[in-house]
Structure 1
Amino acid sequence: MVFKALVLGLLFGLLAKETLAASCPTILNSTQRALNSTNDVNLCEQFQGKVLLVVNTASQCGFTGQFEQLEQLHNQFKDQGFSVVGFPSNDFNQDLGSEENTAKVCFLDFGVTFPMMARSSVKGQQANPVFFEIAKQSGVSPKWNFYKYLIDKNGAVVGVFSSGISPTDTKITQMIEQQL
């Protein structure tokens, strides 16, 4: 009897995981390594059903100060099903050095608590799966660091914001509120 219950429990667990994978939006259908870590993040498990602001970052860019506003935005809406997700990249030669240095800038210098993925490419054929899908959906690859992409609960890109737009600009905050 106990064995039967255990087998049924495992079977239901596997079916639930398959259902999750089958219903996962393409934009979240990957596993990424967390910044300066050996831990992997299954984006579907972590973010499915949430509104996201996906940002390509660089630790030595003139826009690096936006980490403060990104953190403010994350804290303002995180309890309502929202998250900022950062993707460091050296595609524009502004995130040089080690991933450890990138993590120091994010976590120690700016106090970032939102999820940061490992450094990866965010444009062209080498783009990680998230940014490949962002470009496919929106037609806009990052032209510089700190491009911001608003992703709705269903995994669709619903807003694109260039580097020069502050994360706390009312255009962004109002769109987040509408999506929540």
Structure 2
Amino acid sequence: MTRLQRLFFALTLSIAPSVSAADAPQAEQSCPALFDHAFKKLHSNDTLNLCDLYTGKPMILINTASHCGYTRQFKGLEALYQKYKKEGVELVGFASDDFKQAAKSEMEAASICYKNYGVTFSMIAPTHVRGDDANEVFTRLNRQAGKPSWNFNKYLVSADGSQIQRFGSNTEPTDSALEKALIKAL
């Protein structure tokens, strides 16, 4: 349910109290505050509010870089996404140069993600994931689960947004503690 749809539904309920929550199929899936932030998509003029991706299932958020020894993990992250997207799991990559290993341009970063590794999950344009300039989502992730120690830290956020588990760069996307935790969270 998009932000506009949620607002419209809330207004409808306040104007017409006879409409019950059962009349709206997604009303029970209110989006956790952690996800209610909009970001520019990688190499695009479009923005994405993470609530637009929210399905009432766990979400995995990753800080990424284009020129890092862990960049190869895009392939495993895409495999993880393909394996669990039918169950409503979303992955979101946050491109970042906080560790000085990003591409020189968004076009280059997009090419690495989309062409070299076949990424189909959502990618966010370069943003900060550490320090005082960290974006709103990573500010909360950092506070609750710890700052990314390097690129390709993976944060598994529970369906209700209340529990966050951080998996470091060395944790492979598939056949790993991350995948086991995801299965358990489903």
Paired position in structure 1 for 2:154: 148
Paired position in structure 1 for 2:175: 169
Summarize the alignment of residues 22-41 of structure 1 with structure 2, pairs less than 5 Å apart.
Answer: 23-41=30-48
Length-normalised TM-score, structure 1: 0.86
In the superposition, relative to structure 1, how do residues 14 and 102 fare at CA in structure 2: closer, same or farther (>3 Å)? same
Summarize the alignment of residues 1-180 of structure 1 with structure 2, pairs less than 5 Å apart.
Answer: 13=9, 15=11, 23-138=30-145, 140-180=146-186
Deviations 1:41-80, CA, capped at 9 Å, x for gaps = 1111222522111100000001000000000000000000
Could you tell me which amino acid in structure 2 is paired with residue 174 of structure 1?
A: K
Q: How many residues get paired?
A: 167
Root-mean-square deviation over aligned CA pairs: 2.1
Could you tell me which amino acid in structure 2 is paired with residue 45 of structure 1?
A: D
Displacement of 1:156: 2.7
Displacement of 1:12: 5.0
In the superposition, relative to structure 1, how do residues 157 and 119 fare at CA in structure 2: closer, same or farther (>3 Å)? farther
Return the alpha-carbon distance in structure 2 between the equivalents of residues 43 and 34 of structure 1: 11
> Which structure 1 residue ranges, 4+ long, deviate > 2 Å from structure 2?
11-20
Displacement of 1:110: 0.5
In the superposition, relative to structure 1, how do residues 12 and 112 fare at CA in structure 2: closer, same or farther (>3 Å)? closer
Return the alpha-carbon distance in structure 2 between the equivalents of residues 170 and 159 of structure 1: 14
**DSSP 3-state at the match of 1:124:** coil
Return the alpha-carbon distance in structure 2 between the equivalents of residues 179 and 25 of structure 1: 16
- More helix per residue: 1 or 2? 1
Give 5+ residue unaligned stretches, structure 1: 1-10
Length-normalised TM-score, structure 2: 0.83
Return the alpha-carbon distance in structure 2 between the equivalents of residues 44 and 125 of structure 1: 24
Are 2:53 and 2:90, in contact at CA under 8 Å, matched by a contact in 1? no
Return the alpha-carbon distance in structure 2 between the equivalents of residues 170 and 16 of structure 1: 45
Identity across the alignment (%): 39
Give 5+ residue unaligned stretches, structure 2: 1-6, 15-20, 22-26
**DSSP 3-state at the match of 1:32:** strand
